[in-house]
Chains A and B, each alone.
Chain A
Amino acid sequence: MSILGTRVLRTEDPAFLTTGGVYTDDIVDERLAGACHVFFVRSPVAHARIRSIDVSAALRAPGVVAAFTGADLADLPLLAPPMAGMINEGMSQPLLARDAVRFVGEPVAVVITDDPYQGEDAAELVDADYDPLPPVIDMAEAAADGGPVVLFPDAGTNVAASFGDAAGLKADLFDGCDAVVTRVIVNQRVAPAPMETRATAAVWADDGRLTAWIPNQGAQGTRGALAAMLGIDPAAVRIITPDVGGAFGAKFGADPEHAVVCWVAQRLGRPARWAETRNENLVAMTHGRAQQQTVTIGGRRDGTVSAYRLEILQDAGAYPRFGAFLPALTILMAPGPYAFGRAEAVGRSVVTNTTPVGAYRGAGRPEATAAVERAIDLFAAEIGMDPAEVRRKNLLPAFTEPHTTAFGAVYDSGDYATALEKALTAAGYQDLRDDQAKRRAAGDVVQLGVGLSCYVEITGPGMEAGGPRENATVEVHPDGRATILTGTSPHGQGHATVWAMLASDELGIPVDMITVKWGDTDLIPEGGGTGGSRSLQQGGAAVQQASRELIEVARQRAASALEANPADLVFDPGRGAFAVTGDPEAAVPLAQLAHAERLVVRTVFTAPGPTFPFGAHVAVVEVDTETGKVVLRRMITVDDAGTVINPLLAEGQRHGGIAQGAAQAFLEEFLYDADGNPLTASFADYPFLSATEVPSFELADMATPTSYNPLGAKGIGEAGTIGATPAVQNAIIDALAHLGVRHIDMPASPQRVWRALRSASGAAAAGSNESEDA
């Protein structure tokens, strides 16, 4: 009986539950003895020239060791935008601001103290003087030609990148359509807000090597990014990855602050530590989403969509990071699971005086799904057809051979219609519509809304150097235990348990006798980390492959030991031994074959390409039509990510993704005022989801294997987020559709909902049947 596919409890948990995880701020290490503590001073204005920064008062404060500004770091390189060549390199960020500040929260100075409690006292005494410049906060304003505010005068534009062929958009794309709807919709800025903020602990050895403990999503990438910012050879850097308290895309690579802390340690010849506060984290960790989308959809009255166009404006924030690249991913997945006759998508990223935007669970693909799912519902409302029916009519038929879309995505396998039917059945769709009809007829104050989404998404996209692949090293020790080295980088996903399961299945060694290691670049110099839902399909596949290769190496040794022909030997994982076929007494245990010589194999698994999980979500909401308050009553999901190795953990990934996705639809938004001051810079103001805002989720199972790896697995980490957001948004609008509401931007806050209702009733009074939130 294989352990694969069973609900194995996590080996990580006893430690987490008793003594707690050991996160970067928890690290106690003799190498860090006597560490000083680094505190950042940050810009309080969104756009300004720095006139002066006076640290003299801070230097006199108790316990202050030193203070530095951008001038002290003048020899260090700037942080250049990623995706070299695609993004305007004139928009690089100094590690500490030099002449100008471009967002509230941009680091301008550091104060270093002996004791952590002294840091804030001292940082308050830093006197920074600014000449304010007009800020541009709205991305459309930033994008406008000839706008007055240009963040990088030398660049001469706020456009950081362009994707697709804007000039090539066909004027006749929608000719012949019975109905065409176009709408500008917002996929709002959110804060990833992992529970663990950012941190760094750094020390330089006498030989000039840097050792840095940093919470990250891939130590190898972090090492490269840090080395680049410090202007040193990556070989001189060792990254150690402690337990990481969540990341969601925002802990890839390294940020200026990480590099500054390392630089301070070198400059002072003393270990240095930094623990970010939550308020810092909300304004200075990269944000997510932040797209403005123009969707146009047209088709026939029978529900067939003939054409779809998506035009994206991406807010990159003040300094382009991965966020500036998101439109490329959104464009790639623009048509989703649909067989549209014609489709076009283009995008531009612009800088604004706001927090830089990076990857956030789904990174560009939730945006694509949200846009097309909203468009489908707008089209359905326009022609007066059930949104489930419109979807049925347009979904790509099931396929097992790879399908290439017009946008160049090669979907590996998919059965979107079955996913939709499963979700609708699990939800009791017709009963929901009946309940809705009753409430509408009765004019209930609390109305019911049912929202759908169908999605397909790209996982394991292979954006790391070398394409979609991962390495694993498996070693069996003489004492019968095993160790796995992986290039992935878990931060809650449970790789220690699942990689052990995969090896255990091949080697016959119990899961709790298998240790999994990651995140130390001296131990594992290569690896793609964890993101883009790549880990199981590439990293897990590598572990299985390495285990299988190890058995073959062991087979040769067993043949010698048993003086038999390797072809006559059978490895029985249940026994953990090789035996001669037909002679079970002639056997040798696997561990014994490690006595004379190490029994270890390193392998690289290379995937043929990314895989494409898919699914369908149904959201049920209640909307109080008097107050606008939305309550999420049910989430029913189908998330097909191929073969499931550990259902317990796969469900956990779906739950977490669903919650984050739902939260975007009706709760979370990072807001600025017109001057670029953050309005949601604490957990009291940023509406982070709590347990009372979501129900328990209803997960239906579906697993369409992929042929792209022996596990048959695709990536599941981001799927829940991608499907949930549009389902919930569509449900809210659906609840009010009979009152004339056609669209409400996210998040559907009570005020937004109420305004949409007023606007609709006003429009109704004026004889129109169209409404938008005022």
Chain B
Amino acid sequence: MIPAPFEYAAADSAEHALELLATFGDDAKLLAGGHSLLPMMKLRLAYPSALIDIGHLRELAGIRADGDELVIGATTCHADIADSELVRSQAPLLAHAAAQVGDPQIRHRGTIGGSLAHADPAADLPMALVALGGSVEIIGPDGTRTATADAFFTGFLETSLEPGELLSAVRVPSTPGVGWGYQKFVRRANDWAIVGVAATGGRIALANMGPVPIRARAAEQALADGASPAEAAGLAAEGTAPTEDIHADRTYRQHLARVLTRRALEHQAG
């Protein structure tokens, strides 16, 4: 119910956060909204020795246009992304995905950087980023680097972030007018997806069909080859080996992936 003890330091800049990470070492974690991390700590599934608070750093927040991309600061909360006129017009799939996370209170605190760094394959934003073909900016002791969505998620709750690095911003293509579809299958409104599908611009990403958000590449290829949405969707589960849990076994999950992919392709907004 309450976390084990830890040390706490509020960073006064992104650079300072990096220094604190180096000082406190590998068992330290960054804290933005804390709505992926604190629940784990409260259940004593995570025991960071220190939390470095970046949640209030304005330099890490905010949404702006940069050429043909949108740049979203890592500590921008889901509610602000969902409400942003810029995101809704330029990358509406992302605004929609942000609006699906949890519930209003969670959206007021949870951040895009936190959600992506946590890398839950059942979550909305990792799937959305993969569908959009976005990327993340990472700062670290050795400077800045970029990771594409396809390369960033490396395993269940794992990303290519190295110790000592900080996810500073998220980039997504500006695609006003491009159709997009989003299907999140849940039993209750604020659940994680049993299976989720996000589709736009010929890319199809699946949530909770594997340890990371997965591209439905066979379905994408079929679409590119001129298949109808229904035909392409029939291939959505190709190559997937989804886990089984109380909500769904493998067969049902794969079935849902096909149905939801078809719906995501057929019922496109924008």
Contacts and interface: CB of A to CB of B under 8 A. Distances in A.
Interface of A: 117, 120-121, 124, 277, 279, 626-627, 629, 667, 671, 679-680, 682, 685, 687-690, 692-693, 749-751, 754-755
Contacts of A667: 187-188
B246 A680 contact: yes
Contacts of B194: 750
Contact of A749 (B5, B187, B191): B187
A contact face: mostly helix, strand, loop, or mixed: loop
B116 interface: no
B252 A754 contact: yes
A749 B247 contact: yes
A750 B188 CA distance: 11
Contacts of B260: 627
Interface string B193-219: 010000000000000000000000000
B58 interface: no
A755 B251 CA distance: 10
Contacts of A689: 188
B188 A693 contact: yes
A117 B1 CA distance: 9
Contact of A690 (B188, B248, B256): B188
B249 A690 contact: no
Given A121-B4, A692-B189, A693-B188, A671 B44 contact: no
A682 B189 CA distance: 16
Given A121-B4, A667-B188, A627 B44 contact: no
B246 A627 contact: no
Contacts of B256: 627
A710 to B, nearest CB: 45
B2 A120 contact: yes
Interface in B4-21: 4-5
Nearest to A278: B1
Contacts of A626: 259
A750 B5 CA distance: 41
Nearest to A671: B246
B189 A690 contact: yes
B185 interface: yes
Contact of A679 (B2, B246, B249): B246
B184 to A, nearest CB: 12
Contacts of A682: 43
A692 B188 contact: yes
B252 A751 contact: yes
Interface in B64-122: none
Contacts of B188: 667, 687-690, 692-693
Contact of A693 (B1, B189, B249): B189
A689 B191 CA distance: 11
Contacts of B1: 120, 277, 279
B208 to A, nearest CB: 14
A627 B187 contact: no
24 contacts: A117-B2, A120-B1, A120-B4, A121-B5, A124-B44, A279-B1, A279-B43, A626-B259, A627-B259, A629-B187, A667-B188, A679-B246, A682-B43, A687-B191, A688-B188, A689-B188, A690-B190, A749-B247, A750-B194, A750-B252, A751-B249, A751-B252, A754-B252, A754-B255
Contact of A687 (B2, B185, B187): B187
Nearest to A277: B1
A215 B41 CA distance: 29
Interface string B118-154: 0000000000000000000000000000000000000
Given A687-B187, A750-B252, A751-B252, 7 more contacts: A117-B2, A120-B44, A626-B259, A680-B246, A682-B43, A693-B188, A750-B185
Contacts of A693: 188-189
Contacts of B246: 671, 679-680, 685
Q: Which A-B residue pairs are the 5 nearest by beta carbons?
A: A692-B189, A277-B1, A626-B259, A751-B252, A679-B246
Nearest to A686: B246
Contacts of B191: 687
Interface string B242-267: 00001111001001100110000000
B120 to A, nearest CB: 12
Given A120-B2, A120-B44, A751 B248 contact: yes
B252 to A, nearest CB: 5
A682 B247 CA distance: 15
Contacts of A688: 188
Contacts of A279: 1, 43
A664 to B, nearest CB: 14
A119 to B, nearest CB: 9
A41 B46 CA distance: 20
Nearest to A679: B246
A750 B255 contact: no
Given A277-B1, A680-B246, A627 B189 contact: no
A680 B191 CA distance: 13
B247 A751 contact: yes
